[in-house]
Amino acid sequence: GQQVMQIPQYQHVQEGEDFTTYCNSSTTLSNIQWYKQRPGGHPVFLIQLVKSGEVKKQKRLTFQFGEAKKNSSLHITATQTTDVGTYFCAGQVGDKIIFGKGTRLHILP
Amino acid sequence: DSGVTQTPKHLITATGQRVTLRCSPRSGDLSVYWYQQSLDQGLQFLIQYYNGEERAKGNILERFSAQQFPDLHSELNLSSLELGDSALYFCASSAFTGGWMYNEQFFGPGTRLTVL
């Protein structure tokens, strides 16, 4: 079936280091959303990308949508302890939303 | 606080039983989504309702059913429960207006279901 693969599954970084998570789809996506879930919390919307090759920035976070609309990435510059959590991508295919399994980010002080 | 409420917060039940999870969307949102989150499967889209009608179906088992009522709250019914149904169940709502593109979803705090 349709899948959105997200890597890595886990990432440990030192505070201040950069972090990147990647999503890849076997199918062209209408759009992709990114969510963050803090430990014990619920997913919180970060951003939506719609256009091929789109790049959006939110402070230290940079989101990209691939030219073929099959992949996306989230890059965090100079991580902080507040960045801890699991980052999910969610791609729309037709009328379905397919979430990646998430990347759990641990920050080492 | 997302504005989406879910009850109960926790539910412990036995195999073979039936439970109902309830969700109230944000004020004004017509669309409700249900998700199952388990450790090994991540976040699985189950079903979407828009203004009382089922709009999209994901990986929802036949033992599960949902509905959205005229006041826009939604219920997810899980029957003939199995151990593997133990998971966190999230409801989300959005200002989706029936077009082709989904938009930002607001998630509730979830209901943790434990099947013993």
Cα–Cα distance measured from residue B65 to residue B78, given in angstroms and rounded to the nearest whole number: 7
Residues 6+ apart with CB under 8 A from B102: A31, A33, A92, A97, B94, B96
Of A45, A95, A101, the CB nearest to B42: A101
Cβ <8 Å between B102 and A33: yes
Contact B22, B32 (CB under 8 A): no
Tell me whether B99 touches chain A (CB under 8 Å).
no
What's the pLDDT score for residue A54?
97
Cα–Cα distance measured from residue A14 to residue B82, given in angstroms and rounded to the nearest whole number: 41
What's the pLDDT score for residue A84?
97
The type of residue at B14 is: A
Provide, as residue numbers in chain B, all residues whose Cβ is less than 8 Å from the Cβ of A33.
102, 104-105
DSSP string, B91-116: EEEE---SSS----EEE---EEEEE-
Tell me whether A43 touches chain B (CB under 8 Å).
yes
Per-residue pLDDT tens over the stretch B1-51 = 889 999 999 999 999 999 999 999 999 999 999 999 997 668 899 999 999
Tell me how crowded residue A77 is: count the other CB atoms within 10 A of its CB. 14
Tell me whether A3 touches chain B (CB under 8 Å).
no
Per-residue pLDDT tens over the stretch A39-63 = 999 999 999 999 999 999 999 999 9
Phi-psi region of A40 (alpha: psi -120 to 50; beta: other; left: phi over 0): left
Per-residue pLDDT tens over the stretch A94-108 = 888 899 999 999 999
How crowded is the C-beta side of B8, counted as CA atoms within 13 Å? 9
